[in-house]
Structure 1
Amino acid sequence: MPPTDLLSAELTLTARITTASNATFLGAIGPSTVVYKPIAGESPLWDFPHGALAHREVAAYALSQVFGGDVVPRTWLRDGPLGEGMVQLWCEPDPQQHPVDLIAAAPSTEKSTPVHTPPAGFKHVLSGEDETGRIVNLVHEDGPALRRMAVFDVIVNNADRKGNHILAMADGIRHGVDHGLTFHHEHKLRTVLWGWLGENLNDEELMAVQRVCQGLNGDLGRQLADLLTAQELDAVATRCEILQNTARFPAPSGRMPAVPWPLF
């Protein structure tokens, strides 16, 4: 629960974030800069219930608190100038860091085909052509912070992990934002973080999954019950059990695209 002043002090809007698909505003609560997404500004979707995206954002934060790793910035529900909505503390990323990137494929000295080897410290996800016909590679960092986020996304069934939904902080923390398209009971995992496909989860990651499994039977489960349906909660538990039993990063499955579009 956020401090009382963040719940009850006046929320003042300072700007609109026009790149967002739903009504999204930058605002201030006292000295704190926040993001505000009113429920009234949510666009209808064919596959998610209308008026529930803000609740899913808050549910993602609640689960991340048990999961660990500071994946999701502090997020809560409260009233605002345009009615009840999701409010999240603003996190200013380091513009010099690019945990997910599109880079030009290196030309091969022996063949006409380009080289798809990622730079040191990065994982290759996929290759494609940009608008000029140049071959490019989608890559992401190979580090513990993004690994944790990838596991978290499996648990919450994140259908929209774009590259710019990952905030690279100067201290090395990687925050994930924009979790409205999560917790669907059907498989909808769409993410740019496929670099560890098939790799084993480490002990720390398995312990994080176990904490969520246990939390679903306690305080976490009671919090999520106010934000999600019983069917969605059962699906969270099932995804945790599968992760524990397989102990590895899953592969894409189903007929839906494995990555969101656009990628950023």
Structure 2
Amino acid sequence: MTTADVRTVLTDGDLTVVGQIVHASNATLVCDAQVGDTVVRCVYKPVRGERPLWDFPEGTLAGREVASYLISEALGWDVVPLTVLRDGPYGPGMVQRWIDTVDPAESAAERLDLVDLCPAGSVAQGWLPVLRARDLDGDQVVLVHADDPRLQRMAVLDVVLNNADRKGGHVLEGLDGNVYGVDHGICLHQHDKLRTVLWGWSGEPVDPVLLADLDKLLRRFDGGFAEELHEHITGAEVRALQRRIGALLEHPVMPHPRGDRRIPWPAF
């Protein structure tokens, strides 16, 4: 199906709950959206199922997920799966296209995930260390992620979105070969909240191709994009987003972590 077809089904289709992601912080339901004989698997997060947070206004997480998708789409990066805001069986909420991923049981036994842990002293070529820790057995391990341009694009998007919750489990390698990021409910705060497992490129220059996309996006704010985002986040948050993009264009280097809370917890 085309993107327009998927959007139509997600927006207008009948939602049938087929399961629940029980380890999620907020109510996260797996659904089938159906129009006629066309069915699209999706994730539905009703606003009423959002857990209150001290630093994000109550009832705003679904809108932040949609705004994050709109920004990814405007950049042409296809990092965030197609996401809409609509009514559902448990009231208004975010509905996002489901991403089919490789079954870990079918992948190579020694294959690391895009974000993973490996024994200390054994970081392989093509992987970037983030931090050292100890596992549940007390052994030293290293949190690593792949030195992959698909993942690097996501890391730049996280800086732009001010993502406060980029866990390893929020990074999905789709069967289509693309790498997707999910769970963007605590993004786009006006104050610095960046917490991510993707610190491997800290201090390195941003790819000029990505900078060109960011420059085009910044120009769109005068053409109505800011008003589109205002439907989901505040004016102050939109202006903070513009400042983050402008700062990255002025100083095109990936930031270093600041403070003690550099990654979300848990990390996966």
Q: TM-score, normalised by structure 1?
A: 0.92
Q: Deviation per CA, 1:57-114, whole angstroms, max 9, x where unpaired?
A: 0000000001222100000001100000000000011233610001112xxxxxxxxx
Check the 8 A contact 1:40/1:82 in 2, yes or no. Answer: yes
Distance 1:256 1:217, change over 3 A: farther
* SS in structure 2 of the partner of residue 216 of structure 1: helix
2:49 is aligned, of 24, 38, 41, to 41
Letter in 2 for 1:218: G
TM alignment of 1:97-116, pairs within 5 A: 98-105=113-120, 115=121
1:138 aligns with 2:143: yes
1:158 aligns with 2:150: no
* SS in structure 2 of the partner of residue 139 of structure 1: strand
1:27 is aligned, of 31, 41, 51, to 31
2:77 equivalent in structure 1: 69
1:121 aligns with 2:126: yes
Q: CA deviation at 1:120?
A: 1.5
2-structure distance, mates of 1:229, 1:51: 13
Q: CA deviation at 1:171?
A: 3.6
Size of the aligned set, in residue pairs, is 253
Check the 8 A contact 1:15/1:25 in 2, yes or no. Answer: yes
* SS in structure 1 of the partner of residue 175 of structure 2: coil
1:257 equivalent in structure 2: 261
Q: CA deviation at 1:6?
A: 2.6
1:214 is aligned, of 208, 214, 219, to 219
Q: CA deviation at 1:161?
A: 0.1
* SS in structure 1 of the partner of residue 14 of structure 2: coil
1:188 aligns with 2:193: yes
Q: Deviation per CA, 1:173-199, whole angstroms, max 9, x where unpaired?
A: 100000000000000000000000000
Q: Quick one: percent identity of the two aligned structures? A: 45
Q: Deviation per CA, 1:217-238, whole angstroms, max 9, x where unpaired?
A: 2242221011110110110011
Structure 1, unaligned runs of 5 or more: 106-114
1:170 equivalent in structure 2: 175
Distance 1:44 1:137, change over 3 A: same
* SS in structure 1 of the partner of residue 225 of structure 2: helix
Check the 8 A contact 1:63/1:220 in 2, yes or no. Answer: no
Letter in 2 for 1:138: L
1:241 aligns with 2:246: yes
Check the 8 A contact 1:35/1:88 in 2, yes or no. Answer: yes
Check the 8 A contact 1:69/1:145 in 2, yes or no. Answer: no
1:179 aligns with 2:194: no
1:205 equivalent in structure 2: 210
Letter in 2 for 1:242: A
2-structure distance, mates of 1:8, 1:119: 47
1:226 is aligned, of 225, 231, 244, to 231
Q: CA deviation at 1:149?
A: 0.3
2-structure distance, mates of 1:3, 1:91: 14
2-structure distance, mates of 1:173, 1:20: 23
2:18 equivalent in structure 1: 14
Structure 2, unaligned runs of 5 or more: none
2-structure distance, mates of 1:77, 1:170: 25
Letter in 2 for 1:73: P
